[in-house]
Chain A
């Protein structure tokens, strides 16, 4: 699940070199959309995923157009601060009583939980759904990035934005598409989070967002397989820490790991070092 959020970070960073702090909150909006589509619209599960992904993508495209695009040529820090601003805005705006409200909501289980035992290891249908949805999203992403025209555009823009523009790539459209695609993945992640930990509120995006970003950096930011690898490592270490040490240290351990990896390989595990030209 971290993988899905981490992918959004890594794609956006790969293309516009911006840490999109609002990404965790897009994830939260995805979870809420899923909540309402189950509670009020009684959609079937595929419909829930579609609505959450579509809604999140739409939101991200709007954010990109309104807040980030005007700052593309401004100092990088201005865009970063704006991202923090957008993040705070989304959290507190949706926490208003008129929007989602500041309370915790119990996320409904859209299906029955079934356990299955294979060789002494117990799987639940929740884990099954999460695994399936993650794999399906990753497969779709891999296809889009490597087999379609817009995917080629994304790779070109990520390599060199200005040159790609000169070569006739519609840079703005590609960037919008990237934001949308990343957000759609985050939306799916939001639904999965709601299913796995059935309690959501408007600040739920902060920690997963931060950790997903850490995962993206761990694996080498800008690299899609790196994000998945980093997310796997993050998830495993956190579970191990909770199991063998103490859950109070859980948040710390992940970052100790991150710093250790960065010192050993400053661009992340699968990152490519960029040589600086003078």
Chain B
């Protein structure tokens, strides 16, 4: 009973939000552009939650998040594209299941790669891990650029086209809800405790019997899986993929979101993701066209000021009630 109630409590706000966006767009109050931006914000939030698990909770400094995002995007896009190519348009009814499958495949692919990358690199500490993952991000960009020499439909440096548009508001919101619930439960489970212990003090964690390396691999892999799923959603939202979407500078974007929201703070990550995406797009509308390039002058300034004023992130350690731990209430 209480589980049901909890699930209901979690799903309700998102269902209301999704219904509202659907309703507003159906009634032409919200134009399709903003609906798309809303979905993008959900996607970014999922990816950022993944990074928060890696960096915020486990304390692993990863600068290669966009690479895993890209792996998920390319994997999922390739799968649906192959399916549509093989069965044609008449089988489109079944694409819901196919889409779900390809999203999961994207997540699994990203997780598997993260596992392979993590096995050697997670032995490195702090900044060196950051550089190694940053290097991995640059390598993956090169791989995406040259991917067409392996599988021509991946497009390589020219970009991948012809991906069916499958992501809609219900998909984006449902995926975000799932991500929030999974991460919340993971963080407050014994696994999550172990991850936080590693963040706080790796030596002490090892001393109380936590297999630190194993948990670091788990945290890293799980976080990257979320990036993979988010990538799949992104691919089917914009129907076009280009390697420059996944270069290392995009990893910084996600990192900034996570730090702005506060490390190890789910509420902060959610709020910061939405604020970030809407701020970027909102300034496109709000600024007069001749000042449009001021966008990227104002954003870093805002970022620097926020960091100077609130070095621990916007929310510090405060959380929405739903996302709090049940033990320390």
Q: Do A and B share a complex?
A: yes
Q: Is the interface of A mostly helix, strand, loop or mixed?
A: helix
Partner of A78, one of B136, B138, B297, B307: B307
Q: Does B146 lie within 8 Å of A249, measured CB to CB? A: yes
Q: Does A252 lie within 8 Å of B142, measured CB to CB? A: yes
Q: Does B141 contact A (CB under 8 A)?
A: yes
Q: Which 6 A-B pairs have the closest CB atoms?
A: A255-B135, A252-B142, A74-B311, A92-B296, A89-B300, A78-B311
Q: Does B135 lie within 8 Å of A214, measured CB to CB? A: yes
Between-chain CB contacts (< 8 Å), 12 pairs: A81-B259, A84-B255, A85-B256, A85-B300, A88-B300, A102-B293, A221-B127, A249-B146, A259-B121, A262-B132, A263-B120, A278-B204
Report the separation of the CA atoms of residues A214 and B301 in the bound assembly, to the nearest whole angstrom: 27
Closest to A17 in B: B127
Closest to B259 in A: A81
Q: Does B304 lie within 8 Å of A217, measured CB to CB? A: no
Q: How far is the CB of A79 from chain B (nearest CB, A)?
A: 8
Q: Does A252 lie within 8 Å of B139, measured CB to CB? A: yes
Q: Does A259 lie within 8 Å of B136, measured CB to CB? A: yes
Q: Does A217 lie within 8 Å of B131, measured CB to CB? A: yes
Report the separation of the CA atoms of residues A85 and B303 in the bound assembly, to the nearest whole angstrom: 6
Q: Does A19 lie within 8 Å of B127, measured CB to CB? A: yes
Interface residues of A in 204-257 (CB under 8 A from B): 206, 210, 213-214, 217, 221, 248-249, 251-252, 255-256
Report the separation of the CA atoms of residues A213 and B134 in the bound assembly, to the nearest whole angstrom: 11
Report the separation of the CA atoms of residues A267 and B129 in the bound assembly, to the nearest whole angstrom: 11
Q: Does A70 lie within 8 Å of B146, measured CB to CB? A: no
Q: Does A133 contact B (CB under 8 A)?
A: no
Tell me the total A-B contact number using a CB cutoff of 8 A. Answer: 122
Report the separation of the CA atoms of residues A206 and B125 in the bound assembly, to the nearest whole angstrom: 25
Chain B 188-231, CB-CB to A under 8 Å as 1, else 0, gives: 00000000000000011000000000000000000000000000
Closest to B56 in A: A77
Closest to B305 in A: A85
Chain A 83-104, CB-CB to B under 8 Å as 1, else 0, gives: 0111111011101110000100
User: Told that A77-B259, A248-B157 touch, could you supply 7 new A-B pairs with CB distance under 8 A?
Assistant: A19-B130, A84-B255, A86-B300, A96-B293, A214-B131, A252-B139, A255-B138
Report the separation of the CA atoms of residues A278 and B206 in the bound assembly, to the nearest whole angstrom: 12
On chain B, the number of residues with a Cβ less than 8 Å from chain A's Cβ atoms is 45
Report the separation of the CA atoms of residues A29 and B121 in the bound assembly, to the nearest whole angstrom: 35
Report the separation of the CA atoms of residues A91 and B123 in the bound assembly, to the nearest whole angstrom: 34
Q: Does B16 contact A (CB under 8 A)?
A: no
On chain A, the number of residues with a Cβ less than 8 Å from chain B's Cβ atoms is 45
Report the separation of the CA atoms of residues A51 and B286 in the bound assembly, to the nearest whole angstrom: 39
Q: Does B139 lie within 8 Å of A263, measured CB to CB? A: no
Interface residues of B in 133-152 (CB under 8 A from A): 134-136, 138-139, 141-143, 145-146
> Which chain A residues border B263 with CB–CB below 8 Å?
75, 77
Q: Does B300 lie within 8 Å of A75, measured CB to CB? A: no
> Which chain B residues border A263 with CB–CB below 8 Å?
120-121, 123-124
Q: Does B128 contact A (CB under 8 A)?
A: yes
Q: Does A137 contact B (CB under 8 A)?
A: no
Partner of A262, one of B128, B252, B311: B128
Report the separation of the CA atoms of residues A107 and B312 in the bound assembly, to the nearest whole angstrom: 43
Report the separation of the CA atoms of residues A97 and B328 in the bound assembly, to the nearest whole angstrom: 54
Q: Does A60 contact B (CB under 8 A)?
A: no
Q: How far is the CB of A227 from chain B (nearest CB, A)?
A: 14
> Which chain A residues border B296 with CB–CB below 8 Å?
88, 91-92
Partner of B255, one of A19, A75, A81: A81
Q: How far is the CB of A47 from chain B (nearest CB, A)?
A: 31
Q: Does B1 contact A (CB under 8 A)?
A: no
Report the separation of the CA atoms of residues A19 and B308 in the bound assembly, to the nearest whole angstrom: 17
Q: Does B248 contact A (CB under 8 A)?
A: yes
Q: How far is the CB of A69 from chain B (nearest CB, A)?
A: 10
